[in-house]
Structure 1
Amino acid sequence: MRRVSAAVILVWLPLVVPVVGRVAWSDRLPDPIATHWGPGGGADRFSSFQALFAVTLLVGALCGGIALVAAARLRSTPGFRFAVTAAGATAGGTAGAFVATAQMNLADPADPRLSWWLVLFVVGLAWGLVVRQVAGPSPATGSAPESAEPLPLGPDERAAFATTLSSPLLTGAAALTGAVVLALALTVSPGLWVVLLVPLAVTLCFARIRVTVDRRGLRLVAALIGLPLKRIPLARIEAAQTATIEPGAWGGWGYRILPGRSALVLRRGPGLVLHLDGGRQFAVTLDRPEVPAGLLAALGTRSKG
């Protein structure tokens, strides 16, 4: 519990940076200040220092809120370490960018130039590694996969399984990211409007996902837009198992690709694990995975028979 509390406090700590910076620099900075630099190093976009301060404070507070939610709901899972690391890196990077922007304007208020101060952004991102270290090691990663018993199917009997998955965590994170990008686009850099396409795409792809198992194999489709996300033919499936899926063991939330395996992870809990030809694996989190696992086992046995 001490590690959890310490990690959360460290995520909130970068909020001190804009508060101290406002007290120290607000009466010395020009108005407006440069907030974006072109390829030649010259400033090409400007904003007020108060807007920069407000956005930095907002991002830091949102990251702190994410850490609090993770501590309340994910502290006994690998997801807590992942969440506070990402939140710490975002809060630290934003604070580093705040200091770098202020210092480049203070160096030459008449002609602020891009300089080595920008390295503070990278240093700020490294704050996430500090938070990760304090959070401690991840707990054990779920249960061992269990082979599924084939469902009893007659020689000419047809069967199919279908369910719809949702991910409040991913859609909530996408909405939070969209809100931060929108605030930055309105106050700092209008060119950031195009970045809104990223959280929009995440929402459209992962808000609702249709999972289907039948004689053709396994299919995953983004239900809101009808976009196929994954299709595994029955002939490629060598075995179907059930397991408790830990996001940290599969690379985090969302669609993950790792050496030799991939997964669609929308939460921690029961899931379907498929062993494919070539030694690869694919996993998807869903309720009652023993049903689609048993159906795939039965369909695979019948197709080989």
Structure 2
Amino acid sequence: MGTGPATTPRPGAVRAGAAWAGAAWALGVLALLVTMPLVARDRLPDPVATHWNGSRPDGSMSVTSAALFPAGVWLALVLAAVVTRRYWGGSASGLPAALLAGGGVLLIGAQASIVHANLGRSHWQDADSANLWVAVVMALTALASALACLATRRPGSALAGAGPAAREPVMDLPDVERVVWLSWAANPALQLTAALLGLGAVGTAVASGTGLTDPHWMLLLPLAALALGIGVVSSVRARVTAKGLVVGFGPLGWPRRSWSPAEIESARAEQRTAAQAGGFGYRVNRLGTTVMLRSGGCLVVRTRAGAEFAVSIDDAERGAALLNALADRADAGRP
């Protein structure tokens, strides 16, 4: 491993975006939990069935209580996530996100199952079975928790080989076993937009699935597609190793683009603005391909095929220097 000083990218934008998206998710889940039974009040018995023994309902709660009780549980989960992030964020970085994602999906699914089972019934004892809903909700809860942990995992320290960057820049690499450089960036506004669109898609899907409204595919599909597309280009992670450059998009670092050192002609750090790139997000224009999350320093890679790829990211100078050194090493190994 290189002996040069470790470089840690500034995570402020990533944290700000995650905080705003988390706040939007918390408020959106709270709104869904409260409004679902209240909106359907005229089509529900009062009280409503809230607990089942097998396929038979054996417990009930007033409609108002059915709206407020899960909301209280959700607020407690949000508080637990905030406290965990504040005091144990380093040792349990994925736990707050898992609590918010998994807990939100679980409570929304449970509330939707209650509304669906009671909808159109005269008495809570006549409510439908919720067994299928429970199985689906538990599976979605596990999936949401796992994805949240993956999305919020912390990359290791950004490490590079010894030696300062030259003007090109090129880093003087010793003969070492492993070299690594890591950096990331995010656009909080895009992250918040993706979260709000995702909440709209979830709300539309829940309303349709519970029978509160007819299926609105012309609304659900565009909302889901926009949330996914904007979420993918709202953050980026870059990693340089002896195998080359890998750029991962979105909170999961996927999809990815990669280049080996042999494919790279040169790399440089360059100042670019969003206006030059044609706006924020994934842009293709006369400059080549640019992933623009914020104006400022960009890592620009020129391939041997003549194409250019740029990504706005922290510590671009060191990343470019390391890529150039690896490209030089690859050239030296050519026959």
TM-score (norm 1): 0.46
